[in-house]
A and B are shown apart, each in its own frame.
Chain A
Amino acid sequence: MNDVAIRVKNLSKQYRIGGPQVPYKTIRESLIEAGRAPFRRMRKLLCGHAYGAAEMDATIWALKDVSFEVKRGEVVGIIGRNGAGKTTLLKILSRITEPTEGYAEVHGRVGSLLEVGTGFHPELTGRENIYLNGAILGMKRAEIERKFDEIVDFAEIERFLDTPVKHYSSGMYVRLAFAVAAHLEPDILLVDEVLAVGDAEFQKKCLGKMKEVTKEGRTVLFVSHNLSAVQRLCESSFVLDQGHLIFQGIAQAGVARYIDIVRSRRGNAILFKESKVDTGLRFVSCYVAEEPGKPVNYLRYTVGGHLVIEYEVSRILHGAQVTFELWHSEYGCVLSSTSLDRGVRTSTLSPGIYRSELTIPPFLIRPGAYWVTLSASVPGIQMFDEIEQACQFDVTDDGSPIALLSQGRRGIILPVLEWQITCVDSGA
């Protein structure tokens, strides 16, 4: 069985979190407890039950009974929601942290890109940091010297080689950091979300480098939220959910499985608490849905969906408008719209519960994280209700051909436009 790169058996990792063991009962007891606690904590810690939260007893399994095998040269995408145990798995395989139970066998040198720029010292120059960072990542000095020019080329920082990195722009910093890490030549490469850094141009370069690495027959474990990158780079995938490995197989199927998990969770129709002051109009709930009445926490870029806003009117209101703003987590406000947009100036609302449904067309809102801000008012006269971040949802890139093509494309929205191409002059 010499073609195995990684073999993992029943790997588990427990973390301690949560509250104190016993609630204190009386003042006397808690005073005694307060007196004893440091000693008990000290004893526990010195006896090897060494956890920062030794007095805390609640535990969580970040990883539970995970077993798998990765063949040499295989490129595996690891997907799962936040907290599913992806990073914990990589940390154990790279020996940063120890498993609580189980066993893993790693054949060959492991290089990890858990976070670029680790160990950079701001006071040192680019040149010095290349050596330092290389050594931290486990490269020998001779190896760094051999690849030095290549690294500098890749990072495009020739002119600033002897400038302390604290004067670098964040782009340069990241480029240099990635360049050093990318020139490490491990037998097994562990990558965690590094592609989220840098500008589009550089991301493309990073993806190219990753592809190159995979072509050289190295084994790669790639953790990412970028489903289309996983589909393009990886032949197989693991899906983790709450510490369990729930799927292993080809990448396409893994992505589909992941989308299933996310969808199967109860959608989050946010219900707002009743405020004490009755202003006349208050928001009841707000959510996105693909089918009416079924709240979900994400929409597919290729399918679109609806934004549903429910509100309660307690008295007759004249000229009231309901407004929402759609915010992208990085780009800011994408659009805003109000119920009076169609020019109805004299709308009258009688008491009751209302529901507004707005259609979010497919092929428009770029994949990413969004939230909705709500407000209701008679413009310029009275404010009824206002909720920041009333509803949060993701727009996911489900690996459609169009989403694949759009990688690295800039712009706040991502519409698919008709190109009417006619030849106006044949040049003859």
Chain B
Amino acid sequence: MRKVVDHRTQTDSVECSPPATALPVTIIRPSRGWISLNLHDLWEYRELLYFLTWRDIKVRYKQTVLGAAWAIIQPFFTMVVFSLFFGKLAKVPSDDIPYPIFSYAALVPWTFFANGLSQSSTSLVASANLIKKVYFPRLVVPISAVISGGVDFVLAFVVLLGMMLFYGTVPTAAVVWLPLLLLLALVTSLGVGLWLTAMNVQFRDVRYAVPFLVQAWMFATPIAYPSSLLDEPWRTLYGINPMAGVVEGFRWALLGSETAPGPIVLVSALVAIGLLVSGAFYFRRMEKTFADVV
């Protein structure tokens, strides 16, 4: 479907019909094959994106006792468990950084990614009644699902700052890269989320596969261990997992781990963009069937 704006104005006015100014004309016809992303339409609906994100944030911890504390509990206790088992018992190296802060600095972006991925992968099915009743660019649904995790990230990040204070860690100037690294996590999360949520409309198998995927992905990411365990060129290739780039980047920017992760992050960024673009096109291609199938 494409939208064209009709700039013609009415010259011969018909009596009793209101004066017509240029009305947008929408052409509706079956789409074939791969279709454009229609980013213009997405921009038109940016307020909806804002409201859906805002709704997700408002509703997130309604009727829970601990409320927003969950945003902190999740990564924090994972850090405690990791520190006990990997740090103390297994004596996993941590690039000369205290193990708790080493793992927590990785868990904060990881939790953002993992929650964004699970939320976005089920987002379309969860808004089935909306999709069947109203038109809007369907892309706003998974996008808002990922973005709304930002609040949790901020809360968990504040705890990270507290831990840095406790351990006396001073961030390096590289900290300015942090927003871009966060963006990288977001892009990865959304890219995979778009693939999965579009598939979830067809196969509900996705819902069962996602927790497993997230768990496996977590151990495939250098969270409990450093990527410096690998030699080059394997280390750089590790960046094919975009979260490896994000996690190593976070440690480098905040804790000043000496392993400059430049090449890893570059590979990660390329893979993440590839995921996002392919995910968006796949999503758009499947979009026409959502309302009929979901």
A93–B135 Cα distance when bound, in Å, is 10
A50–B201 Cα distance when bound, in Å, is 10
B91 interface residue per 8 A CB criterion: no
Which of A101, A115, A131, A135 makes the CB contact (< 8 A) with B30?
A: A101
A217 interface residue per 8 A CB criterion: yes
A68 interface residue per 8 A CB criterion: no
B282 to chain A, nearest CB (A): 9
The stretch from B56-64, B93-101, B234-242 touching chain A is B56-64
Q: Is the CB of A96 within 8 A of B132?
A: yes
Quick one: given A72-B17, A119-B134, A131-B51, are A50 and B202 in contact (CB under 8 Å)? Answer: yes
Which of A93, A99, A121 makes the CB contact (< 8 A) with B55?
A: A121
Q: Is the CB of A136 within 8 A of B27?
A: no
Minimal Cβ-Cβ distance residue in A for B63? A123
A42–B131 Cα distance when bound, in Å, is 23
Q: Is the CB of A118 within 8 A of B286?
A: no
A411 interface residue per 8 A CB criterion: no
Which of A3, A96, A123 makes the CB contact (< 8 A) with B62?
A: A123
Which residues 8-25 of B sit at the A interface, judged by CB distance below 8 A? 8, 10-12, 14, 16-18, 20, 23-25
A123 contact set on B, CB distance < 8 A: 58-59, 62-63
A132–B144 Cα distance when bound, in Å, is 13
Minimal Cβ-Cβ distance residue in B for A88? B292
A109–B20 Cα distance when bound, in Å, is 13
Q: Is the CB of A112 within 8 A of B134?
A: yes
A34-71 vs B: 1/0 string, CB under 8 Å? 00000000100100101110100000000000000001
A420 interface residue per 8 A CB criterion: no
Quick one: given A132-B55, A187-B23, are A96 and B289 in contact (CB under 8 Å)? Answer: no
A105 interface residue per 8 A CB criterion: yes
Q: Is the CB of A100 within 8 A of B135?
A: no
B10 contact set on A, CB distance < 8 A: 2-3
Which of B17, B29, B50 makes the CB contact (< 8 A) with A99?
A: B29
B11 contact set on A, CB distance < 8 A: 2
B31 interface residue per 8 A CB criterion: yes
A349 interface residue per 8 A CB criterion: no
Q: Is the CB of B202 within 8 A of A98?
A: no
A137 interface residue per 8 A CB criterion: yes
Minimal Cβ-Cβ distance residue in B for A218? B18
A45 contact set on B, CB distance < 8 A: 202-203
B58 contact set on A, CB distance < 8 A: 123-124, 128
Q: Is the CB of B48 within 8 A of A136?
A: yes
A123–B132 Cα distance when bound, in Å, is 21
A110 interface residue per 8 A CB criterion: yes
A110 contact set on B, CB distance < 8 A: 26, 135
B23 contact set on A, CB distance < 8 A: 107-109, 187
A97 interface residue per 8 A CB criterion: yes
B32 to chain A, nearest CB (A): 9
Q: Is the CB of A109 within 8 A of B24?
A: yes
A107–B10 Cα distance when bound, in Å, is 13
Which of B24, B51, B132, B293 makes the CB contact (< 8 A) with A52?
A: B293
A72 to chain B, nearest CB (A): 5
Minimal Cβ-Cβ distance residue in A for B49? A135
A212 to chain B, nearest CB (A): 14
Minimal Cβ-Cβ distance residue in B for A49? B289
Minimal Cβ-Cβ distance residue in A for B11? A2
Assign chain A's interface to a size class. Answer: 35 or more
Q: Is the CB of B289 within 8 A of A103?
A: no
Give the number of A-B contacts (CB < 8 Å).
138
Q: Is the CB of A114 within 8 A of B59?
A: no
B68 to chain A, nearest CB (A): 15
Q: What number of B residues sit within 8 Å (CB to CB) of A?
A: 49
A20-45 vs B: 1/0 string, CB under 8 Å? 00000000000000000000001001
A104–B30 Cα distance when bound, in Å, is 10
A136 contact set on B, CB distance < 8 A: 48, 51, 130, 134, 136
Which of B6, B14, B55 makes the CB contact (< 8 A) with A3?
A: B14
B270-285 vs A: 1/0 string, CB under 8 Å? 0000000000000001
B134 contact set on A, CB distance < 8 A: 94, 96, 112, 114, 118-119, 136-137
B92 interface residue per 8 A CB criterion: no
A48–B287 Cα distance when bound, in Å, is 10
Q: Is the CB of B28 within 8 A of A106?
A: yes
A13 to chain B, nearest CB (A): 9
A162–B102 Cα distance when bound, in Å, is 45
A115 contact set on B, CB distance < 8 A: 133
A26 to chain B, nearest CB (A): 28
Q: Is the CB of B28 within 8 A of A92?
A: yes
B33 interface residue per 8 A CB criterion: yes
B106 to chain A, nearest CB (A): 33
Minimal Cβ-Cβ distance residue in A for B25? A107
Q: Is the CB of B25 within 8 A of A114?
A: no
Q: Is the CB of A15 within 8 A of B48?
A: no
Q: Is the CB of A72 within 8 A of B292?
A: no
B203 contact set on A, CB distance < 8 A: 42, 45
Which of A3, A94, A128, A135 makes the CB contact (< 8 A) with B48?
A: A135
Q: Is the CB of B133 within 8 A of A118?
A: yes
Minimal Cβ-Cβ distance residue in B for A109? B24
Which of B17, B28, B131 makes the CB contact (< 8 A) with A105?
A: B28
Q: Is the CB of B292 within 8 A of A51?
A: yes
Q: Is the CB of A105 within 8 A of B25?
A: yes
A68-99 vs B: 1/0 string, CB under 8 Å? 00011100000000000000000111111111
Q: Is the CB of A135 within 8 A of B288?
A: no
A141 interface residue per 8 A CB criterion: yes
Q: Is the CB of B31 within 8 A of A98?
A: yes
A2–B50 Cα distance when bound, in Å, is 35
A95 contact set on B, CB distance < 8 A: 1, 26, 28, 135
Going nearest first, the 3 A-B pairs with the smallest beta carbon separation are A95-B135, A52-B293, A135-B51
Ordered by A's residue number, 8 sampled pairs between the chains whose C-beta atoms are within 8 Å are A45-B202, A51-B292, A73-B18, A95-B28, A96-B133, A98-B288, A128-B55, A136-B130
Give the B-binding residues of A (Cβ under 8 A): 2-3, 15, 42, 45, 48, 50-52, 54, 71-73, 91-110, 112, 114-115, 118-119, 121, 123-124, 128, 131-132, 135-138, 140-141, 187, 216-217
7 more contacts with CB within 8 A, not counting A99-B29, A105-B27, are A45-B203, A97-B292, A107-B25, A121-B55, A138-B45, A138-B136, A187-B23
